[in-house]
């Protein structure tokens, strides 16, 4: 993946580059249907505005449509892909269109334009960079939001499958992306969004690769490599347990849940990485990640239809990975402890069977964790997350935030247009700001979340009549997402807990054109912005 580079011109303009754009670029320009205003536009050296060029030579102006105008002398023989953004009044200060929808309109326009550019290059057998120039817009959204959405989409559109940029074989591809901001946005805003987008692409690479590439050991090594790379920014590997240690010391290290799932897998790892972005602050957040690199369901085997997509069941771990990467790249002054359980959920003679009993040992107060009855081996996500929570409980953390593709129930609840659901208590002085930051960041990035509040008595669904708790709620199949939350919450020892069930991210949305991938996006961008917002709010109060 090419690194992000930001250049500052003498006139204060900023140029964001990712990859090689020195070859004659294809320009992407957004234009309004009334042609009264140009967004993300282009002026030729002769001063001919793009809207006039579209009038003379054609091009898309209808919302969501694209068009190509090629090789006209009035723009120095360059190719321009035009993208319709709708009416200019939609972006005006009195517009009734919500700001986050306008930002998403820009993202999808950029994504469509880059797709058209890639198709053009493949057809013509050449390679080139893509250039986007951000000009002013009427004012419904801020310049930082406008330029940020453009940069976000440009970088994220540049990822497809396992390739760094759209386009495929050398000689017929996009070689890089350049965004010019014309002095509109703040350097801090551009750097934050740009670096976060690069970090999310790195997480998407892990999310998208097949299970024979991203094995448990590969995923573990990816975390270790990242920690080494950012060791100068306060990142450090604190714990790296392998399968032998996990199985041999499950109870004393609160690893029983992960050990149970790992019995039929030849590879298993438990990783604890710390990021100390603010050494002077004693407060720390714990991020918990589910890293199941393939999920067959175990003895409670899944249906064959759709099982080939279960290499995406490590999306929670990928989110934690990308978040750590982004926080370190941006130098966010926050302290994080990341706990990631990594293995496969396989079938084998040594594998865990329904009816197994687990003992996690004791919490930091020497109070025993609840005994666990494994009712269903396909509810393995809450088992490995409970290991992460129980291990984090022994440390001094302010709050825990977990990420996992946990339940099909959440997909049914939100649909594919949401990145996931946030399950957390309300009216909590620690939890409320976290949930609020995620919801606002989700609107800004279109990694949308729905907040679900647990209610008293709901936790009774996971009580086991033999004592302790079970990893499957009942009676009935309803409310499964809440069952997962309550199970993991039983191992937090009262530490404020926010659960992000990102199972909907496994469902790609075709008209999100800037996400050229098999799955949706792991919510790395939203998580980085949410944590950055929390830090800023705390700083402002001082």
Tens-digit pLDDT profile for residues 135-163: 777 688 999 999 999 999 998 887 654 45
Pairing, β 4-8 against β 14-19: antiparallel
Q: Which residue has the higher pLDDT, 362 or 184?
A: 362
Is the confidence at residue 404, as pLDDT, over 90? yes
CA neighbor of 80 nearest in space, from 107, 124, 120, 125: 120
Structure token digits, residue 55: 């009038």
CA distances from 57 to 39, 116, 121, 169 (A): 19, 18, 20, 31
First to last CA, the chain: 39
CA distances from 4 to 84, 268, 326 (A): 28, 33, 12
pLDDT at res. 72: 47
- 382 assigned to active site: yes
Helices 524-541, 315-330: crossing angle, 10 deg rounding: 50
The residues pairing with 413 across neighbouring beta strands, listed in sequence order, are none
Domain ranges of the chain: 14-185, 211-541
Q: How many residues does the chain have?
A: 542
CA neighbor of 69 nearest in space, from 61, 77, 83, 80: 80
CA distances from 293 to 246, 289, 312, 481, 519 (A): 17, 12, 7, 21, 14
Q: Which of 122, 284, 382, 533 is an active site residue?
A: 382
Q: Are 352 and 261 spatial neighbours (Cβ–Cβ below 8 Å)?
A: yes
Q: Are 404 and 420 spatial neighbours (Cβ–Cβ below 8 Å)?
A: no
Alpha-carbon gap, residue 523 to 448, rounded angstroms = 9
DSSP three-state, residue 114: helix
pLDDT at res. 308: 94
Tokens 């091009």 correspond to what residue? Answer: 59
**Region at 153 (left for phi over 0; alpha for psi -120 to 50; beta for the rest):** alpha
Pairing, β 497-501 against β 420-423: antiparallel
pLDDT at res. 85: 83
Tell me the whole-structure pTM to 2 decimals: 0.93
- pLDDT, average across residues 479-488: 96
Confidence of residue 513 (pLDDT cuts 50, 70, 90): confident
Alpha-carbon gap, residue 376 to 407, rounded angstroms = 13
Is the confidence at residue 294, as pLDDT, over 50? yes
Task: Quote the percentage of the chain above a pLDDT of 90.
Answer: 61
Contacts of 460 (CB under 8 A, 6+ apart): none
The residues pairing with 516 across neighbouring beta strands, listed in sequence order, are 160
pLDDT tens, 247-275? Answer: 999 988 899 999 999 999 999 999 999 99
- Residues 211-541: name the CATH superfamily: Zn peptidases (3.40.630.10)
CA neighbor of 4 nearest in space, from 266, 193, 278: 193
Confidence of residue 59 (pLDDT cuts 50, 70, 90): low
Q: Do the domains spanning 14-185 and 211-541 agree at the CATH topology level?
A: no
- pLDDT, average across residues 110-126: 85
Confidence of residue 1 (pLDDT cuts 50, 70, 90): very low
Confidence of residue 276 (pLDDT cuts 50, 70, 90): very high
Q: Is 511 exposed, middle or buried (0-12, 13-18, 19+ CB in 10 A)?
A: exposed
Q: Which of 65, 126, 172, 302 is an active site residue?
A: 302
Question: 14-185: which CATH topology?
Answer: 3.40.220
Q: Which residue has the higher pLDDT, 163 or 84?
A: 84
- 302 assigned to active site: yes
Out of 78-82, 184-188, 285-289, 519-523, least confident range: 78-82
Is the confidence at residue 2, as pLDDT, over 60? no
pLDDT at res. 60: 60
Confidence of residue 75 (pLDDT cuts 50, 70, 90): very low
């Amino acid at each position: 993946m090419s690194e992000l580079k930001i250049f500052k011109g003498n006139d204060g303009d900023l140029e964001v580059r990712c990859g090689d754009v020195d070859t004659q670029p294809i320009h992407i320009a957004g234009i309004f249907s009334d042609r009264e205003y140009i967004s993300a536009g282009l002026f030729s050296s002769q001063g001919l505005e793009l809207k006039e060029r579209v009038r003379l030579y054609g091009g898309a102006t209808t919302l969501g449509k694209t068009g190509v105008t090629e090789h006209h002398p009035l723009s120095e023989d360059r190719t321009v892909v035009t993208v319709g953004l709708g009416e200019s009044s939609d972006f005006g200060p009195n517009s009734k269109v919500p700001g986050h929808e306008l930002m998403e309109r820009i993202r999808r326009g950029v994504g469509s334009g880059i797709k058209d550019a890639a198709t053009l290059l493949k057809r013509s057998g050449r390679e080139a960079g893509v250039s986007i120039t951000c000009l002013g817009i009427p004012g419904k959204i801020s310049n930082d939001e406008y330029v940020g959405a453009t940069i976000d989409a440009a970088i994220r559109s540049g990822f497809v499958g396992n390739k760094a940029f759209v386009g495929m074989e050398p000689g017929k591809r996009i070689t890089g992306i350049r965004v010019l901001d014309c002095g509109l946005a703040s350097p801090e805003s551009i750097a934050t969004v740009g670096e976060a987008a690069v970090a999310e692409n790195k997480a998407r690479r892990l999310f998208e690769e097949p299970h024979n590439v991203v094995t448990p050991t590969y995923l573990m090594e990816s975390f270790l490599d990242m920690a080494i790379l950012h060791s100068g920014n306060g990142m450090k590997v604190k714990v790296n347990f392998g399968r032998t240690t996990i199985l041999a010391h499950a109870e004393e290290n609160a690893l029983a849940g992960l050990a149970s799932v790992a019995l039929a897998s030849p590879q298993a790892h438990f990783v604890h990485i710390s990021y100390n972005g603010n050494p002077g602050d004693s407060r720390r957040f714990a991020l918990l990640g589910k890293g199941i690199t393939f999920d067959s369901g175990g003895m409670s085997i899944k249906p064959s239809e759709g099982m080939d997509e279960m290499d995406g069941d490590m999306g929670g771990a990928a989110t934690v990975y990308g978040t750590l990467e982004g926080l370190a790249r941006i130098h966010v002054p926050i302290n994080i402890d990341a706990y990631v359980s990594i293995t496969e959920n396989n079938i084998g003679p040594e594998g865990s069977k329904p009816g197994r009993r687990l003992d996690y040992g004791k919490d930091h107060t020497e109070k025993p964790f609840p005994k666990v009855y494994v009712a269903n081996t396909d509810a393995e996500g809450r088992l490995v997350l409970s290991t992460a929570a129980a291990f984090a409980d022994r440390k001094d953390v302010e709050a825990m935030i977990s990420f996992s593709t946990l339940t099909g129930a959440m997909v049914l609840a939100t649909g594919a247009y949401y990145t996931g659901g946030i399950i957390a208590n309300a009216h909590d002085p620690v939890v409320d700001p976290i949930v609020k930051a995620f919801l606002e960041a989700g609107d800004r990035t279109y990694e949308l979340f729905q907040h679900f509040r647990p209610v008293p008595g709901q936790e009774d669904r996971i009580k086991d009549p033999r004592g302790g708790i079970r990893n499957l709620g009942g009676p009935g199949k309803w409310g499964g997402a809440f069952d997962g939350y309550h199970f993991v919450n039983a191992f937090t020892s009262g530490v404020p807990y926010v659960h992000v069930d990102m199972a909907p991210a496994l469902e790609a949305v075709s008209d999100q054109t800037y996400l050229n991938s098999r799955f949706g996006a792991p919510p790395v961008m939203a998580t980085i912005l949410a944590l950055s917002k929390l830090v800023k709010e705390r700083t402002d109060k001082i």
